[in-house]
Structure 1
Amino acid sequence: MRLFAALLPPPDVVTALRRRVAELTELPGAEALRWTRPPGWHLTLAFYGEIPEDVAPELALRLERAAHRRAPLALRLRGGGHFGDRALWADLAYGDPDHRTHLRRLAGSAAAAGRRVGAPEAERPFHPHLTLARGRPRRPTPLGPFVEALADFTAPPWPAERVSLVRSHPPRSGVPGEQPHYEELASWPLGG
């Protein structure tokens, strides 16, 4: 099972982001990007990769404990950024300055839950973001204009109150551009 821990945005945030992404897809060069779809929008806390099915319950128990030890967060999607020409993302703002630190600690606890059941260490340091589009390796697209178009974007406040364990079902058809399907397996309240 390919699993990760995430915070899932509420419907009003998805609606606001959907409107802005519709505008972004009209910009020159947008057709060269692979745009993520709203059902797949999430903030990854920890990526576990392939986890044996018989280990998933232990991971879920450890992730539940991690969620209960952390308080809810006041978040807001605001602005954006990019990782080279690989990914365009929406950035986060925090309702309380301490929530940036609390989010990092939550991500660290989620990653620790994975390590305890044998998931590999993260390849990159945690950088909170919500991926909107991915570049195509054979067709690099400058993402700067898209980041500029996101500069004034502000979504409604987001009370992040639950951590979710999500399964990623990879594309199977072989059709270029097909995206994975995400299935929320369980979720737990923060501070539970």
Structure 2
Amino acid sequence: MRLFAAVLPPPAAADELAYAVDKLKTLPGAEDLRWAPRESWHFTLAFMAEVEDGTVPVLSERLSRAARRTAPFPLALHGGGHFGDRALWTGAAGDVDTLRLLARRADAAARKSDITMEEHRHYRPHLTLARGHGEPSLRAYVDGLADFEGGEWTVAELTLVRSNLPRSGVPGERPRYEVVGRWPLGGAG
């Protein structure tokens, strides 16, 4: 199964972001982008690709430990950016250093569970909003997010998510995400 560790924004933060995204969808060319559905919004901490079913219990225990070792921390959705003209995203504000630490710990949990991971690289927190194919340019959408400041919330859990890839062959169909496990961060109830 395809798995990733993530931080999910709470409903109030998603509401604020949805309001900003609705404005972006009125810009010229917005209909040419593949907008991520709200229920798929997340900050990926560690992408594990294919994981054998038998590895999930060990991985879950290690992710639970990583969560217990990390104190809850404040986070907010903030601004926007893009990766070329292929992905539009919003970023994070608040205790981004602890978010990066949690990402490193989730990555280490996967590696210690004998899951082959990509080479270590600098973690850049982002929540993907839309994907493009080079047209239109994403610059206007990034500009539209420049002043976006979501309200702060406390990240209190680490989530393991399964990505169910589309099988219908219908163009534009997206993966479905399903939560496999949740672990409270240290000190969280």
Structure 1 and Structure 2 fold alike (TM over 0.5): yes
Equivalent residue for 1:179, pick from 174, 178, 181:
174
Equivalent residue for 2:129, pick from 128, 132, 140:
132
1:109 paired residue number: 105
TM-score normalized by the length of structure 1: 0.93
C-alpha displacement at 1:118, in angstroms? 2.3
Q: Distance in 2 between matches of 1:133 and 1:89?
A: 7
C-alpha displacement at 1:112, in angstroms? 0.6
1:120 paired residue number: 116
Alpha carbons 1:3, 1:168 under 8 Å: kept = yes
Alpha carbons 1:88, 1:134 under 8 Å: kept = yes
Alpha carbons 1:89, 1:131 under 8 Å: kept = yes
Aligned-pair identity in percent equals 52
What is the root-mean-square deviation in Å for CA atoms of aligned residues? 1.2
Alignment of 1:55-66 (within 5 A): 55-66=55-66
Question: Can you list the C-alpha shifts for 1:14-73, whole angstroms capped at 9, x where unaligned?
Answer: 111111111111111111111000110001110001000011111011000000001111
**Structure 2 letter corresponding to 1:142:** S
Matched, 1:168 2:163: yes
Structure 1 stretches of at least 4 aligned residues deviating more than 4 Å after TM superposition: none
2:16 paired residue number: 16
C-alpha displacement at 1:164, in angstroms? 0.3
Q: Distance in 2 between matches of 1:140 and 1:119?
A: 36
**Structure 2 letter corresponding to 1:140:** E
**Structure 2 letter corresponding to 1:11:** P
Give the SS at the match of 2:110.
helix
Q: Distance in 2 between matches of 1:186 and 1:152?
A: 34
Instruction: Give the total of aligned pairs.
Output: 186
TM-score normalized by the length of structure 2: 0.94
1:38 paired residue number: 38
Give the SS at the match of 2:53.
coil
C-alpha displacement at 1:140, in angstroms? 3.1
Q: Distance in 2 between matches of 1:140 and 1:116?
A: 41
